[in-house]
Amino acid sequence: PFQQTLAVNKKLNCCTEVLLESLDQLKTVGSNKDGLLYGVPVSIKENIAFKDHDCSCGVIINLDQPAEKDSVLVQILKKQGAIPFVKTNLPQALLSYDCSNPIYGQTVNPHNPQKTSGGSSGGEAALIGGGGSLLGIGTDLGGSIRIPASFSGICGFKPTAGRLSSQGVRPIYRGQKSVLSSPGPMARDVDSLALCMQALLCDHMFSLDPTVPPLPFNMEIYRSSRPLRIGYLENDGYTQPSPSMARGVREVKALLEQAGHTLVPYHPLKIDEIFPELMIKGFLADGGTSLLQKLKGGPEDPCLKGQFHRYRLPKWYKTIRSFLLKPKVTALSYTIVYNLLNFPVGVVTVSTVTSKDEEELKHCNGYYQDMWDKLFKEAVAGGEGLPVAVQCVALPWQDELCLRFMKEVEQLVKQSKK
């Protein structure tokens, strides 16, 4: 896979380094032919520990601190016969849906180099979407697997936090427990995600990390074909979806109903209060202080300067400003709510942006007509031909059911295109 990967990386700048140890592993992999991922090359996000390599999170202060041992996930991948072979790019300090940092530079979208691959698992999504990897491991704190997976036209899955081990997965700062991060698989189809989950949820992981509940993958639920009762949501009343996103949901709803599933409309409660109060105040409870400490003495990525500048404003100014200007819209509301609730959730690509979507976008001004609504419209414009995805969500610990739902969507979309 190396030549293909290097060719994709040349175009998209999605890899941070080649794990040369994988060449040695190729020689010994024959001893584990019963591994579920036998011989599969796997890419891993840069913040996932691999022995003797950095987990910088795109921050200079974290360089030259090679990991002392493999993360639990990397140990399990190797045990199952997989070959972790490259590390992939991420945005500086992880809290972004772009994918750029001063160490490794900007990753671009595999379908349009003028657009971002999304973040924070953007290198992973670009590499898989560009055909340079079959399977990857990302992490998701507010949409960091799902956003880049949807931008890059692949599938991504955020499991229930705690289902997979996070030992050796480096956060940008520790102690933030109200909005939960989760590592998870990214691939070109749902079966690959399910196989990866099945491989990771093994006795070896449960013994290496006793904080993980010993719940093996339930194949019966994944393979079930009973009709589902599905709640659907076209918009949350907080961030106006782009026309292509809303259309994607409507089309999938129709396909699911035709297939005999029951679709029920629902409206989330008070996102305009929950978003600033529980989510933003959750992962920025210290006002960004811990994050700023990580940036000391190093360059800051131009893409993130505005974000870092807001964290540096004096507390009295922030207080007055938030009193006068109620905090409004960022486009994260659709994704981060499931980190807060700790629901398993994944994305499946279902369509592409049409010229009609582009035309309709001109008449979208958002629910608040503030700076965020203007930025959202600018960012989404010029996306004709880019992938459109939907999110599939289940209740906590129902990870197999969530993947089964994703598989159903994937198959129905495939059939409808025929």
The domain spanning residue 29 has which CATH number? 3.90.1300.10
Q: For residues 171 and 404, which has the higher predicted lDDT (pLDDT)?
A: 404
| Domain shared by 347 and 286, yes or no | no
| Domain shared by 69 and 95, yes or no | yes
In the numeric block, the tokens 């049409």 are attached to 354
| Residue 380: strand, helix, or coil | helix
* Range of the structural domain that residue 307 is part of: 271-324
| Domain shared by 265 and 282, yes or no | no
* Residue finishing a domain among 324, 342, 362: 324
How far from each other are the two terminal CA atoms of the chain, in whole angstroms? Answer: 30
Residue 327 has pLDDT above 60, yes or no: no
What's the half-sphere exposure (Cβ side, CA atoms, 13 Å) at 184? 35
* Residue finishing a domain among 297, 324, 351: 324
Residue 414 known to be catalytic:
no
| Per-residue confidence (pLDDT) for residue 174, from 0 to 100 | 85
Of 96, 120, 192, 244, the active-site residue reads 120
| Domain shared by 28 and 76, yes or no | yes
| Domain shared by 397 and 316, yes or no | no
Of 96, 121, 144, 242, the active-site residue reads 144
Identify the band that residue 365 occupies on the pLDDT scale cut at 50, 70 and 90.
very high
Alpha-carbon distance values, 187 to 54, 165, 178, 203, 377 (Å): 24, 19, 28, 24, 28
How does 123-155 read in b/e, with b if 16+ C-beta sit within 10 Å? Answer: bbbbbbbbebbbbbbbbbbbbbbbbbbbbbbbb
Identify the band that residue 30 occupies on the pLDDT scale cut at 50, 70 and 90.
low
Helices 190-200 and 72-79 cross at an angle (nearest 10°) of: 100
pLDDT, tens digit, for every residue of 232-249? 999 999 999 999 999 999
Of 22, 45, 150, 181, the active-site residue reads 45
pLDDT, tens digit, for every residue of 104-145? 999 999 999 999 999 999 999 999 999 999 999 999 999 999
| Domain shared by 194 and 49, yes or no | yes
The β-bridge relationship of strands 41-45 and 83-88 is parallel
d(CA 21, CA 50): 10
Residue 270 has pLDDT above 80, yes or no: yes
Structure tokens at 354: 């049409």
Q: For residues 375 and 250, which has the higher predicted lDDT (pLDDT)?
A: 250
pLDDT, tens digit, for every residue of 274-319? 988 888 888 888 888 888 999 988 999 998 888 888 889 888 887 7
| Domain shared by 16 and 64, yes or no | yes
* Beta-bridge partners for 184: 138
Residue 44 has pLDDT above 80, yes or no: yes
Residue 322 known to be catalytic:
no
| Domain shared by 290 and 401, yes or no | no
What's the half-sphere exposure (Cβ side, CA atoms, 13 Å) at 182? 35
| Domain shared by 46 and 181, yes or no | yes
| Per-residue confidence (pLDDT) for residue 328, from 0 to 100 | 59
| Domain shared by 28 and 140, yes or no | yes
* Beta-bridge partners for 105: 101
Q: Give mean pLDDT, residues 34-48.
A: 96
Structure tokens at 337: 């709510």
* Residue finishing a domain among 290, 305, 324: 324
Q: Give mean pLDDT, residues 397-409.
A: 98
Nearest alpha carbon to residue 38 among 183, 149, 199: 199
| Domain shared by 295 and 359, yes or no | no
What total of structural domains would you count in the chain?
Answer: 2
Residue 144 known to be catalytic:
yes
| Domain shared by 265 and 279, yes or no | no
Asked if 208 and 166 count as a contact pair (C-beta separation under 8 A), the reply is: no
| Per-residue confidence (pLDDT) for residue 308, from 0 to 100 | 87
Identify the band that residue 95 occupies on the pLDDT scale cut at 50, 70 and 90.
confident
| Per-residue confidence (pLDDT) for residue 23, from 0 to 100 | 86
- In percent, the amount of the chain with pLDDT more than 70 equals 97
